[in-house]
């Protein structure tokens, strides 16, 4: 790979890392389409094609994207890797040829997985480790972020060895399988916050950095599905209070503060941040189909009562 292309690719990894620090793990498509400027050249991270190669790169794509609700059924395999569909059905389409070249030369890519419309979880570096023309798909594996520079600096002397090494294979399998869990968690958060219009259902706080998607029934339990009806959009203070049974929510969507907490004397945070919400109604999503499940609220409220 040419030195200049290495420079652009490394700069893209660094830029993505900076965006994650600013925006969190889920990034808006608008900033990815805009990208950044290096050497007076615009480096875009996504485009109209799911397999994206900005003009500054000669042949090998920079990123691959799975769009939420898109036409391609990209899935995780039983081995923990990602099966990514070809561009169309022509195995010699330039995008498919570009990914094949990335596989042969073990050039790292960025993977964007659509969580909700126009929002993506970014994963990097990702490597193409398999090509299945019969199934019209590639096999992808994620690796450790800290080793990007090492991979790029050793491309000429170690082509193919990373795929063949058994320890690297299992390491990549494990790392890639964790992406599925992250997607599950981030998708739940984005869908819940979107339903509640990016505000706390108790206090209306709208700073998204301070908002969580709280499970009514924990997702580790039988009825703890990760759907919007089992979620509440809560600021971090109220999420902690809800999880600790300091605050409860009745099946009729009313907030209750635990009796001992109501009687407690403390500073303004307790008074205005907790106690004043007692007996008030939570803010509900605009669509009734997204309202909290009343049976789940009843199960959770019973726990709140027992805790008091």
pLDDT single digits (tens) 8-34: 999 999 999 999 999 888 999 999 999
Predicted local confidence at residue 72, as pLDDT: 54
User: pLDDT at residue 4 above 50?
Assistant: yes
In angstroms, the first-to-last Cα distance of the chain is 65
pLDDT at 214: 97
Strands, DSSP E only, in the chain? Answer: 26-28, 36-38, 41-43, 51-52, 63-66, 75-76, 82-85, 109-116, 119-132, 137-142, 211-215, 231-235, 247-249, 255-257
The residue that leads in pLDDT, 177 or 256, is: 256
pLDDT score, position 303: 96
Pick the range with the lowest mean pLDDT from 65-79, 80-94, 139-153, 186-200.
Answer: 139-153
Q: pLDDT tens digits, residue range 271-282?
A: 999 999 999 999
**Claim: this prediction has a pTM higher than 0.85:** no
The DSSP H or E segment spanning 146 is: none
Q: Which comes out higher in pLDDT, residue 103 or 185?
A: 103
In order, the DSSP letters of 15-77 are HHHHHHHHH-SEEEHHHHHH-EEETTEEE-S--SSSEE--TTSSSS-SEEEE-TT-S---EE-
Dist CA 189 CA 46 (whole Å): 23
Q: Distance from CA of residue 132 to its chain's centroid? A: 27
Q: What is the dihedral sign for C-alpha 114, 120, 126, 128?
A: positive
* Structure letter (DSSP) for residue 280: P
Chain centroid to Cα 181, Å, comes to 9
pLDDT tens track for 35-80: 999 999 999 999 999 999 999 999 999 999 998 766 555 688 888 8
* Helix-, strand-, coil-residue percentages of the chain, each rounded to 5: 45, 20, 35
Mean pLDDT computed over 158-180: 70
Q: How far apart are CA 97 and CA 51, in angstroms?
A: 11
* pLDDT tens, position by position, 296-308: 999 999 999 999 8
In the predicted model, is pLDDT for residue 287 greater than 80?
yes
């Amino acid at each position: 790979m040419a030195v200049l292309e290495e420079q652009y690719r490394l700069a893209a990894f660094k830029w993505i890392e900076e965006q994650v620090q600013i925006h969190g793990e889920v990034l808006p498509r608008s900033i990815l389409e805009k990208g950044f400027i290096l050497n007076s050249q615009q480096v875009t991270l996504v485009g109209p094609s799911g397999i994206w190669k900005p003009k500054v790169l000669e042949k090998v794509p920079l990123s691959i994207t799975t769009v939420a609700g898109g036409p391609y059924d990209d899935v995780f395999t039983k081995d923990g890797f990602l099966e990514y569909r070809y561009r169309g059905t022509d195995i010699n389409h330039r995008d498919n040829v570009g990914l094949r070249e990335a596989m042969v030369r073990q050039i790292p890519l960025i993977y964007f997985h659509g969580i909700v419309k126009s929002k993506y979880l970014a994963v990097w570096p990702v490597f193409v480790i398999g090509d299945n023309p019969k199934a019209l798909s590639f096999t992808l594996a994620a690796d450790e972020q800290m080793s990007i520079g090492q991979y790029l600096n050793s491309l000429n002397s170690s082509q193919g060895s990373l795929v063949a090494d058994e320890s690297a294979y299992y390491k990549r399998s494990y790392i890639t399988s964790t992406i599925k869990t992250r997607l599950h968690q981030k998708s739940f958060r984005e869908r819940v916050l979107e339903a509640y219009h990016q505000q706390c259902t108790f206090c209306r706080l709208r700073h998204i950095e301070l908002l969580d998607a709280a499970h009514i029934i924990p997702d580790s339990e039988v009825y703890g599905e990760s759907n919007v009806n089992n979620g509440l959009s809560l600021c971090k203070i109220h999420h902690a209070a809800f999880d600790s049974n300091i605050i409860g929510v009745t099946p009729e969507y009313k907030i209750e503060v635990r009796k001992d907490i109501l009687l407690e004397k403390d500073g303004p945070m307790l008074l205005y941040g907790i106690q004043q919400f007692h007996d008030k109604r939570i803010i509900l999503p605009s669509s009734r189909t997204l309202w909290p499940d009343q049976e789940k609220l009843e199960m959770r409220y019973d726990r709140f009562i027992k805790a008091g």
